[in-house]
Amino acid sequence: MATLAVLGTLDTKGVEHAFVADQIRARGHRVLLIDAGSQGEPQVKPDIGAEAVAAAAGASLSELRGRADRGEAVRVMSSGAAVLVSSLLASRAIDGIISLGGSGGTAIGTAAMRALPVGFPKVMVSTLAASPGVEAYVGVKDLVMIPSVTDIAGLNRISRLILARAAGALCGMVEATPPAATDRPVVVASMFGNTTACVTRARSALEAAGYEVLVFHATGTGGRAMESLVESGLVAGVLDITTTEWADEWVGGILGAGPTRLEAAARGGVPAVVAPGCLDMVNFGPPDTVLEKFKGRTFYAHSPAVTLMRTTPAECAQLGRILAEKLNASTGPLTVLWPGRGLSVIGAEGGPFHDPAADAALLSSLQSALRSNIGLKVMDCAINDAEFADTCAAALLGHLRFAEH
């Protein structure tokens, strides 16, 4: 029997949360009902009241209500919910969490869920689950967003169906037994379709040496998730072959990973190998989504939904300086490898993004700005050649073996 947290604004959506709680109890699990509402008294009696949620954020519920500022209330209750559920998990008082809500309830519920680790069961039934901007609610965590279809405003034939299924989904997550984790040390790697051959070969070499390799797709969310895992202290080494997210971040594509990309391993002293994989491209959606200011640039249709734009020499020069700035903060063993015959499949000789001048601008700025005691090796091969992949794997294995001694 598991204990599942049902968290939400019970002052406005108490009936719906109580229905979910009953569905969970019917499956044989315990419920911990948590009120995160701040506008009035709860419609149903909670196990943990809103006063405790506000207090977890260092606030007074009565003062919050007195100010009647809904935006402030959502911010405070979001913060308090995150602190409270983290404490409950630390004391092993909960095994899963579910929440229901509109805009305010979704902000509060997902804030709590993002404070919980990957693998912990999390379900959010939301009116915003299928809306643009849902990434802000999910972050880099594995929470499940279920569209409510109708508004969460009472019980009806549609909401009962969806809420019952959502409760069942959470129970199923808790009841599932994940396979036992290996005790092999973890290496994380960044990959794109344009660097898959390189990462796949390097991964095989690292796995043969006894490491478990977790690959992250360099789509912005993937890069942030990888950085978050490195920050957690669970990672032995980083194979950051695909640093393309910085091209999107700097130029204005759709797959930027934020201004802290490349910082986690550097700050934490984690052994790393870094390459400029796919810094020759910026990602957009379908062709009609590309901004007018980029008219006349070199484009490549990766798929009907993805349009790639070649980075210019000026952009590459700035990207080299950015990479150097991030890597110069490294406190652990680091090797930077440069594939002199192409940074991606389509950037290799004969490919649509082959541009020696742009690549040279990137290399020159990286070399001139990189700290003198950081090794940079220029290789006469393309990024997906076997020689480059093998060198990446060997360099990281060398750093890892040194770190072990």
Q: Could you tell me if residue 180 is inside a domain?
A: no
Domain end marker among 117, 151, 175: 175
SS3 per-residue string spanning the chain: CCEEEEEECHHHHHHHHHHHHHHHHHCCCEEEEEECCCCCCCCCCCCECHHHHHHHCCCCHHHHHHHCCHHHHHHHHHHHHHHHHHHHHHCCCCCEEEEEECHHHHHHHHHHHHCCCCCCCEEEEECCCCCCCCHHHHCCCCCEEEECCCCCCCCCHHHHHHHHHHHHHHHHHHHCCCCCCCCCCEEEEEECHHHHHHHHHHHHHHHHCCCEEEEEECCCHHHHHHHHHHHCCCCCEEEECECCHHHHHHHCCCCCCCCCCCCHHHHHCCCEEECECCCCEEEECCHHHCCHHHCCCCEEEEECCEEEEECCHHHHHHHHHHHHHHHCCCCCCEEEEEECCCCCCCCCCCCCCCCHHHHHHHHHHHHHHCCCCCEEEEECCCCCCHHHHHHHHHHHHHHHHHHHC
Predicted local confidence at residue 315, as pLDDT: 98
Residue 316, in any domain of the structure = yes
pLDDT at 181: 65
All residue ranges of the chain with pLDDT < 70 are 181-182, 405
**Do both 263 and 383 map to the same domain?**
yes
Residue 239 resides in a domain? yes
Q: Is the domain of 200 the same as that of 291?
A: yes
pLDDT (tens digit per residue) in 66-76: 998 999 999 99
Please tell me whether residues 66 and 215 are part of one structural domain.
Answer: no
Residue 181 lies in a domain: no
- Taking Cα atoms as reference points, which of 272, 173, 266, 188 lies closest to residue 222? 188
Are the CB atoms for 124 and 98 separated by under 8 Å? yes
CATH number of the domain at 329, please: 3.40.50.12030
User: What is the tally of structural domains in the chain?
Assistant: 2
Residue range(s) defining the domain that contains residue 392: 186-404
Q: What pTM value is reported for the model?
A: 0.78
Kindly report, residue by residue over 271-314, the tens digit of the pLDDT.
Answer: 999 999 999 999 999 999 999 999 999 999 999 999 999 999 99
Q: What is the pLDDT of residue 405?
A: 61
Q: In this structure, what token pair is assigned to residue 310?
A: 């070649």
Answer with the one of 119, 141, 175 that is the final residue of a domain.
175
**pLDDT score for 280:** 98
Do 169 and 191 belong together in one domain?
no
State whether 169 and 190 are in the same domain: no
- Residue range 323-349, pLDDT digits in tens: 999 999 999 999 999 999 999 999 999
Radius of gyration of the chain from its Cα atoms, rounded to whole angstroms: 24
What pLDDT is recorded for position 274? 98
Same domain, yes or no, for 168 and 201? Answer: no
Say if 92 falls within a structural domain: yes
Q: Are 337 and 379 in contact (CB under 8 A)?
A: yes
Tokens encoding 292? 């007018």
Q: Are residue 163 and residue 271 in the same domain, yes or no?
A: no
Is 269 found in the same domain as 192? yes
Is the domain of 161 the same as that of 200?
A: no
Residue 147 covered by a domain = yes
Domain boundary residue, one of 152, 175, 198: 175
Are 81 and 214 members of one domain? no
Q: Tokens 């279920």: give the residue.
A: 146
5 vs 23: CA distance, rounded Å: 13
Task: Check whether residue 130 and residue 224 sit in a common domain.
Answer: no
Contact call for residues 39 and 8 (beta carbons, < 8 A) = no
Q: CATH code at 50?
A: 3.40.50.12020
Query: Looking at the structure, do residues 306 and 392 belong to the same domain, yes or no?
Result: yes
In a domain, residue 168? The reply is yes
